[in-house]
Each structure stands twice: as structure tokens, then as C-alpha cells.
Chain A
């Protein structure tokens, strides 16, 4: 088990371009989360999946953001028409949900997005 992996690690894009990030969770984990972390701040929840179903989206997730987890394994987060305010670290985490509760969340190393 290699843990949660995210790709790419860094992305520089011009304002107005679309970008897509990928997250591969720990294989047996059925829950997957996306968080955004701006410089000097703690992570903020964006959205989460249980298997392939997207069950909650934060108000932070504008219409320009879309996330998918098509087969309940890896997930993608796409940002359309990027803005400078989208510059941040995008973190993915996964956990296993059972009837008795959730395991701890394991985080990936994140994708750092810079919009110029």
C-alpha cells in the first residue's frame, strides 16, 4: 500500500485555462475527500465521495469546480477558467467508512496550483 497519491505535485497555469488534478486513495478506502489549503491557513473542505457518489459539496466549490470518482477508485478535480484566487494547495484524503465509524483520514502530498 503506497498511501494516497496525487498528481501532479505542482501545476502552473495561466488565468482562464482549465486544469485537472488526480487523486488515488488507499485502495480499500471507500471515502475520498478534497480540501483546499491556502498559504498560511488550515485546509478547508471542498467535497467528498462515498464510493462513486458525491455526497456533499462545500459552498467553496463554485460552478467552475467539478469532481468525479467514476468507478469509486481514483478521483479527479477539475477547475475551469482558473482565476488567481484559485492558487492554493489541493489536498486529497481517504478513509474507510464502516458502521461503527470511520478510520482516520490519510492525506496525499497535495497538488500546488499557481495561477499566473
Chain B
């Protein structure tokens, strides 16, 4: 079974600064997807960024970028130019790409709370 670990329960960042969230995972599969989801207080979870394991290039979405290290099974998220609206819980998640994988369900880490100071 796959596991996802987020070792930072909470991170604080000054507005306009950069913060990096850590995520490690364990899997025996070679093909999979990794995601970062954002969950603002009392609002639904939304996808921030995704990475296909077969791609060496790190994904980027505007101010959000990842550092994907497949051999180390590490998948960190960098938030640049942090804004007050970035304050939320951030979850790292894994999804198998195997065709027979059960429904392509997501396996989540425990989350990191990001606080943005004005």
C-alpha cells in the first residue's frame, strides 16, 4: 500500500515571501501521479498542481511549483510571493496510474497548515 507523509504540521510565511512544503511518499509502483490540494477553512478542496511520475520536468502553475525527486520519493511544493489568500491546509496526495488500480483513488498525507502574515 502507498503512504504519503507530510512532516510539517504548520508553516508560517510573511506575505510576499516564499514557503516550501515537504512531502514524501512510499510506493513500489513506477507510474503514478502526485498532487497538491489546497483546503481553505470551510471550503472545498481544490487542486493546486499535479505531477506525472514519468515526467522529469517539474510542474509549475503560476506562483506554485514543485520539486519532484523520484528516486528520493520526495515531492515538495514551493509557494512564491505568498498572498493572504494562500492561507489554508495543503495536502499532498498520490494516485496510481496503473489501469487496474482501484478507481484511481487518492491517498493523502496528513496536511500542512500554511499561515500567511501580513
Residues of A within 8 A of B (CB): 3-4, 31, 33, 35, 40-45, 48, 50, 55-56, 91, 93, 95, 97, 101-102, 104-105, 107-110
Q: Is the CB of B109 within 8 A of A48?
A: no
Residue B107 is within 8 A (CB to CB) of chain A in the complex: yes
Q: Is the CB of B46 within 8 A of A107?
A: yes
Chain A residue with the shortest CB-CB distance to B106: A105
Query: Nearest 9 CB-CB pairs, A to B?
Result: A42-B108, A48-B103, A107-B45, A56-B102, A109-B44, A45-B105, A102-B104, A107-B44, A104-B47
Contacts of B46 in A (CB 8 A): 107
Q: Is the CB of B108 within 8 A of A110?
A: no
Residue B68 is within 8 A (CB to CB) of chain A in the complex: no
Q: Is the CB of A43 within 8 A of B106?
A: yes
Contacts of B47 in A (CB 8 A): 104-105
| A57 CB → nearest B CB, Å | 10
CA distance A6 to B103 in the complex (A): 21
Chain B residue with the shortest CB-CB distance to A31: B103
Scoring B residues 105 to 116 as 1 if CB is less than 8 Å from chain A, else 0, what string do you get? 111111100000
Q: Is the CB of B43 within 8 A of A42?
A: no
Residues of B within 8 A of A (CB): 4, 6, 35, 37, 42-47, 50, 91, 93, 95, 97, 102-111
Q: Is the CB of B105 within 8 A of A4?
A: no
Q: Is the CB of B110 within 8 A of A42?
A: yes
Question: Can you show 18 pairs from A to B with CB atoms below 8 A apart?
Answer: A42-B4, A42-B6, A42-B108, A43-B45, A44-B108, A45-B107, A48-B103, A50-B103, A55-B102, A56-B103, A102-B95, A104-B35, A105-B47, A105-B106, A107-B44, A107-B45, A108-B44, A109-B44
Q: Is the CB of A42 within 8 A of B109?
A: yes
Contact of B105 among A33, A40, A42 (CB under 8 A): A33
| A23 CB → nearest B CB, Å | 12
Contacts of A42 in B (CB 8 A): 4, 6, 91, 93, 108-111
